Amino acid sequence: MLRPVDAYIHLGGTMFAQETTTAETGQRRRRAPKVRAILAGGLVLGVGAAITLAAWNDSEFAQGTFTAGAFNLEGSTDGSTFGENPVTAPATLGFTANTANMAPGDVVTAPFAVRLDSTTTSDATVTVSTETSTGGLVGLTYALTQSTAFGCGQAVTATLVPAGQSVGTTPGSVTFALTQGAGTDPGAPVNLCFRITADQDLVQSQTGSTTWEFAAQSQ
């Protein structure tokens, strides 16, 4: 006697009936609730595993305060009184002889000194150049030296411009160093000497002037 047919299987163009017993059907029905229960339990576990943790935060801060220093160069024609000498009012060099009546072979000298004032907080490099020249300077040459003390009769420690340089010109890269002072004291001065020589090319009755610049730059 044939049992109820549950399904058909198609093999090689022939349809075969697959039979299912009443016992097998009952076992499947009993297993189905267990499967659904397991699936439902899985969904519950999935929801319960969604846990959010609080984050910790911390910060560090740093601050800088900046104050600019000061920088000022001053000059002197007597080695004791120093002050400002801008291009509009340059210091007048005190030559040892009358520069208004020069003749070939004459040599005149003039001392000059520069230093950093008491408020300056940096060392400096000073560059020497010619700022302006006017009138006739033909036949006039000069030398610029550095000495141990103020005055052109002091021992020379460095030659900044060698003798024979035409007045009204300055070779490139003429520099010297200045140091800042300690506490409320100004820096030590650098003592200089200009030595002017009149040669055979000096033109009679000519008059001229030249201005040298001492440009300090902080280090």
Q: What per-residue confidence (pLDDT) applies to 31?
A: 53
Parent domain of 88: 73-218
Residue 27 has what pLDDT?
A: 52
Residue 68 lies in a domain: no
What is the number of structural domains in the chain? 2
Q: How crowded is residue 22: how many other Cβ atoms within 10 Å of its Cβ? A: 8
Cβ 89 vs Cβ 74: under 8 Å: no
Q: Are residues 40 and 132 in the same domain?
A: no
Residues 77, 110: one domain?
yes
Residue 23 lies in a domain: yes
Q: Are residues 183 and 117 in the same domain?
A: yes
Q: Is 65 contained in some domain?
A: no
At 55 the pLDDT is 85
CA distance 52 to 67: 50
The pLDDT value recorded for residue 48 is 53
Q: What pLDDT, in 10s, does the model give residues 144-170?
A: 999 999 999 999 999 999 999 999 999
Which residues neighbour 195 within 8 Å (Cβ) at sequence distance 6 or greater? 107, 108, 109, 142, 143, 144, 145, 152, 163
Rounded distance between C-alpha atoms, residue 112 and residue 146, angstroms = 10
Q: Indicate whether 88 and 145 sit together in one domain.
A: yes
The total number of residues written for the chain in this structure = 219
Q: What is the CATH number of the domain that holds 203?
A: 2.60.40
Q: How confident is the model at residue 19 (pLDDT cuts 50, 70, 90)?
A: very low
Amino acid at 207: T
Give domain status of residue 62, yes or no. Answer: no
4 pLDDT exceeds 50? no
Q: What is the pTM of this model?
A: 0.73
> Does residue 9 sit in helix, strand or coil?
strand
DSSP 49: T
DSSP 161-183: EEEEEETT---S--EEEE---ST
**Residue 3: band (very low, low, confident or very high) from pLDDT cuts 50, 70, 90:** very low
3-state secondary structure of 42: helix
Residue 113: burial class (beta carbons within 10 Å; 0-12, 13-18, 19+): buried
Residue 189 is assigned to a structural domain of this protein: yes
Query: How high is the pLDDT of residue 40?
Result: 47
Better pLDDT: 179 or 25: 179
Which pLDDT tens digit goes with each residue over 32-75?
A: 555 454 444 444 445 555 666 788 999 999 999 999 999 999 99
Summarize pLDDT for 58-117 with one digit per residue, the tens.
999 999 999 999 999 999 999 999 999 999 999 999 999 888 899 999 999 999 999 999
pLDDT at residue 201, rounded to an integer: 96
- For residue 3, give both structure tokens: 């049992």
